[in-house]
Amino acid sequence: MVNIGEFARLGGVSTRMLRHYDAIGVLKPAHVDPSSGRRSYDVTQLATLNRLVALKGLGFSLDEIGRLLGEGVDPAEMKGMLRLRQAEFERRVRHDRHILDRVTARLRLIEQETRMNTTIETKQADAVTIASLSATAIDASPQSTGHVLRDLFDQVIERMEAVHADRTTPVAWFISADGRASVEVIAGYALPGDSVPGLQARSLPVVEVASTIHQGPMSGIATAYQELARWAEANGHHKLLESPRWRQHFLEADGDDETHWIVELQLELT
């Protein structure tokens, strides 16, 4: 048996919380001294405390936790609950990040309204893993890559819908090989918590990029490519244009009407 202070230390909680858990009946001490009221705990009660803290972290109310603990939660069940909640948190993070990127893009478009030229921004692009498919386009022309990209996205969406996978932030990645006209085209969505059957988990690394925002139909995105190419030439990055790596992040791309689409185009600098 250990006193409440030592039990709190072992369990990584405060004595105030242990008193609260006692008061509401979810974790009562093994013994209470009738004269002093001092609480003592058995070390084996740490297993219950660990489950309590984990369930609280999962968002369960203390009433719900009391019922679950009363029914008994074995380690396998606890692991399953944690994985489900982890997947939910990851989904929320992806959605929140996508919303933040959309707002940031809108702000850049507003700033652009007062300037004569397209705004080019350099920044560090975060690493992202996408559930994807890839194919080779015969060259880098919009006619070649556009057809391949649309076909890939159709297949990716079909496979994700088949397993009810969450889709957030469509991403296209174009990789040119040295000395070749062909381009590898990768299309996918930010990967959910688990892999998606039939799709490849492809990791885009952290990298410095030059980026601009394109708004409107994809048929007009060549203007954004040209602006970034001119920027690269003017800023000593002309070598990158020999075998460039481009990323397209589709921030707003709902439906077939592309009038209001917003795409962030990025040229990898490293």
The residue with greater pLDDT, 267 or 257, is 267
Q: Is residue 90 part of a domain?
A: no
What is the number of domains present in the chain? 2
Residue 103 pLDDT exceeds 60: yes
Q: Is residue 86 part of a domain?
A: no
User: Is 111 found in the same domain as 61?
Assistant: no
Question: What distances in angstroms separate CA 155 from CA 106, 168, 172, 198, 225, one per listed residue?
Answer: 29, 16, 14, 10, 26
Mean residue pLDDT of the chain comes to 86
CATH number where 44 lies: 1.10.1660.10
Q: Are 173 and 261 members of one domain? A: yes
- The per-residue pLDDT for 73 is 65
Whether residue 68 is contained in a domain is answered as: yes
Residue-wise pLDDT for 221-247, tens only, equals 888 898 899 899 999 998 898 889 999
The pLDDT of residue 179 is 67
107 shares a domain with 67: no
Q: Are 46 and 109 found together in one domain?
A: no
Q: Quick one: 112 and 190 in the same domain?
A: yes
108 lies in the same domain as 37:
no
Burial class (CB in 10 A: 0-12, 13-18, 19+), 61: exposed
Does residue 12 share a domain with residue 113?
no
Say whether both 216 and 262 belong to one domain.
yes
What pLDDT score was predicted for residue 94?
A: 73
The values of phi and psi at residue 245, to 5°, are -120, 120
Can you give the pLDDT at residue 154?
93
Residues 105, 25 share a domain: no
The model's pTM is 0.64
- 35 and 149 share one domain: no
How far apart (Å, rounded) are the C-alpha atoms in residues 242 and 226? 14
Tell me 149's DSSP state. H
In a domain, 94, yes or no: no
Instruction: Give yes or no for residue 97 having a pLDDT over 80.
Output: no
CA distance 139 to 184: 9
Print the domain residue range for 31: 2-73
Mean pLDDT of 92-104: 78
- Answer yes or no: do 184 and 107 share one domain: yes
Residue 114 resides in a domain: yes
167 and 260: one domain?
yes
Q: What is the mean pLDDT of residues 62-76?
A: 74
| Mean pLDDT of the region 66-81 | 72
pLDDT for residue 112: 64
Per the domain annotation, does 80 fall within a domain? no
Task: Give the CATH number, domain containing residue 194.
Answer: 3.20.80.10
Residue 54 maps to a domain: yes
Q: What is the pLDDT of residues 171-190, one digit of tens each?
A: 999 998 776 789 999 999 98
Is 81 among the domain residues? no
Q: pLDDT tens-digit profile of 146-163?
A: 889 999 999 999 999 998
